[in-house]
A = this chain, B = another copy of it.
């Protein structure tokens, strides 16, 4: 009815009761007689009163909000992440604040500012400085997603090590490949760092000498094209296989290789990581690793909600979810099914 916002006190006056009673009715707490409850509900209904979120939050000392911090929104990985997080937060009546640190230099400050507006934060690994992370953790419960935090900050992540071990071993042992290269910058994110380490360890486990250095590029498709230029353009002998830190790099390398007239996988084997939708679509389809990104994010949200619910801010331990090897044509495996992918 009324366009101007009602307050508890106005409703109280209109219903002829005290503000305490209105609050009790609208929250369902305490004891209220049927008579009073009727009067209050009538007034609320009649004037379309909804309690103000700020007033309530201030009194409760709780924001009713969760934060999610990520470097940027490149690709389907982040899409899944956000949806997983959000779908877990909303049923708990918590709103979701997002922050893309992107290329901004003052992201540490912005994250700390976010810490003052929410009840807990999930931060993607490698997004902000450890120092900022520790300070943030002093304000609100924090969980690191896809990475590892300093101190005893809890984290949830996929099994990078296990799956990259399996993938590399697959290439080395089943396809009997040598001269593999790794494309991706281990310094860029904890995920890549773990993948690079596992890539090397798989070599060592089989008594094979791994390359000393990765081809350190960023995570976009264009960087994969660049890497392909570097690997295939010069006079250096062509590697047998290219293990990429994610699918987008792999797709870039694929384009670069095909553009040079190379056949994949006959002339060059390529693998990715993440299983983005396009990975199944391109020709040849991309061998990759599927992570339970959505569950990862949902689990992070759950941890935060639980910690925020308790005054003691329980930090809980770390969690590692399994990842799944997806073998397709680009590593030399036969096409798994009659090429009619079920979309996404």
Contacts and interface: CB of A to CB of B under 8 A. Distances in A.
Contacts of A225: 340-343
Interface in A74-99: 74-76, 78-80, 82-83, 86-87, 90, 93, 95-99
- Interface residue tally on A, bucketed by range: 35 or more
A200 to B, nearest CB: 27
A93 to B, nearest CB: 8
A340 B87 contact: no
A342 B222 contact: yes
A34 to B, nearest CB: 27
A221 interface: yes
Nearest to A139: B5
Residue of A50, A93, A98, A340 with highest tally of chain B CB at under 10 A = A98
Q: Which of A63, A90, A104, A256 is most buried by chain B, counting CB atoms within 10 A of its CB?
A: A90
B54 A83 contact: no
A73 B54 CA distance: 29
A113 B251 CA distance: 42
Interface stretch (A143-151, A203-211, A276-284, A298-306): A276-284
Contacts of A55: 58
A309 interface: no
A290 interface: no
A5 B9 CA distance: 29
A327 B282 CA distance: 20
Contact of A281 (B82, B110, B251, B343): B251
Given A58-B54, A116-B50, A251-B281, A221 B344 contact: yes
B138 A3 contact: yes
A55 B117 CA distance: 11
A48 to B, nearest CB: 10
Contacts of A344: 220-222
Contact of A282 (B87, B259, B281): B281
A164 to B, nearest CB: 24
B99 A97 contact: no
B73 A79 contact: yes
Interface in A217-262: 220-225, 251-252, 255-256, 259
A156 to B, nearest CB: 20
30 contacts: A50-B116, A54-B58, A64-B117, A65-B97, A65-B117, A72-B83, A73-B80, A73-B83, A75-B79, A82-B82, A82-B100, A86-B99, A86-B100, A87-B100, A90-B104, A93-B113, A95-B117, A96-B98, A222-B342, A222-B343, A222-B344, A225-B340, A225-B341, A252-B343, A255-B281, A259-B338, A277-B278, A278-B278, A281-B282, A282-B282
